[in-house]
Structure formats: C-alpha cells, structure tokens
C-alpha cells in the first residue's frame, strides 16, 4: 500500500468548467496535491499513456478524446491513496457510479467520464513519472 496516486481531470470536465469543483472535492476528501499542471496530450502521448488498452474496441476513441483539449494532471497524497481515490471517483460508467462520487456528479458517459484514477501502486508511479519530474513534486 502506497500513499500516492495519479489523476487527470479529463478534457470533458475541464471544458465544462468543473476543474475547481473537482479539485475542491478531492481536497475536502483529504488528499494533498503534491504536483499539478494544466497541459494537453498529443494523440501520440495519449496513445502511449493508454497503451495498456490498445486492443480494446474503445482505444482510438479514448485517444482522440483524451487529446481533444487541455487536462489537469496531478499527483495526490493520502494514506491508501489508490483505493481511497478509486472510491472517491466511482465506477468507470457514471450511470453505475455511487451517489456523491466525482463521476456521478460530473460525468455523462463511460467514455467521457471526467477523471482518471490509477488502478494500482505500480501504475500510480508509472503515470506520475509520465507527467512530472522530481522537482515538480512538493
């Protein structure tokens, strides 16, 4: 169990103006923001980030969506961060997400689902390293 996870506020939520509300939700849930940036993924970088899903039918759509506009990337710190954050964001499909979760509150579809959350400590490290140098972490 590690104390860090990685998140992105996805292009749909940034476009709709939900960045502040989502960050407020995350902070109020007890996460410390250890690194954060507003940036945009190229299609190549989005493809690399989601390479694990290459064979899935939604891969091209996912890559195109994730490179369609700016995202907010962040490293979050809290005890048992990966599991705690997955609970906070809710199920991948917002229609199936529990009441009060970020995806239930701010997402409309299984593809455009407002936020990313790492699924394991190993992936949290890989994903954090994808976006942030050591000097960008506090």
Q: By CB under 5 A, which span of 16-24, 62-70, 78-86, 115-123 interacts with Mg ion?
A: 115-123
Nearest Cα residue to 14 out of 32, 36, 50, 39: 39
Nearer to ligand UDP, 78 or 103 (CB): 103
**Residue 119 Cβ vs Mg ion, minimum distance, rounded to whole Å:** 5
Least Cα distance to 125 among 90, 77, 70 occurs for 77
Q: Choosing among Mg ion, ligand UDP, none, which partner's interface includes residue 58 (Cβ < 5 to 8 Å by kind)?
A: ligand UDP
CA distance 128 to 102: 21
| Annotated catalytic residue 25 | no
Name the binder of 62 from Mg ion, ligand UDP, none, CB < 5-8 A by kind.
ligand UDP
68: left (phi over 0), alpha (psi -120 to 50) or beta: alpha
Closest approach of Cβ 36 to Mg ion, in Å?
A: 20
Contact in structure between 103 and 8 (CB atoms under 8 Å):
no
CA distance linking residue 6 with residue 118, whole number of Å: 6
Q: Which is nearer to Mg ion, 58 or 138 (CB)?
A: 58
Binds 110: which of Mg ion, ligand UDP, none (CB < 5-8 Å by kind): ligand UDP
Residues that bind Mg ion (CB under 5 A): 119
């Amino acid at each position: 169990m590690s104390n860090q996870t990685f998140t992105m506020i996805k292009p749909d939520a940034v476009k709709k103006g939900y960045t502040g509300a989502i960050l407020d939700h995350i902070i109020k849930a007890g996460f410390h923001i250890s690194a954060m940036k507003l940036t945009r993924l190229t299609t190549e970088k989005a493809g690399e980030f989601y390479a694990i899903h290459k064979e899935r039918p939604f891969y091209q759509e996912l890559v195109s969506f994730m490179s369609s506009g700016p995202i907010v990337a962040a490293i979050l710190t809290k005890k048992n961060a990966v599991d705690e954050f997955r609970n906070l964001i809710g199920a991948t499909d917002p229609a199936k997400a529990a009441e009060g979760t970020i995806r239930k509150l701010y997402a409309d579809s299984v593809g455009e689902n407002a936020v990313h959350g790492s699924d394991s400590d190993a992936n949290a490290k890989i994903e954090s390293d994808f976006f942030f140098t050591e000097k960008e972490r506090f």
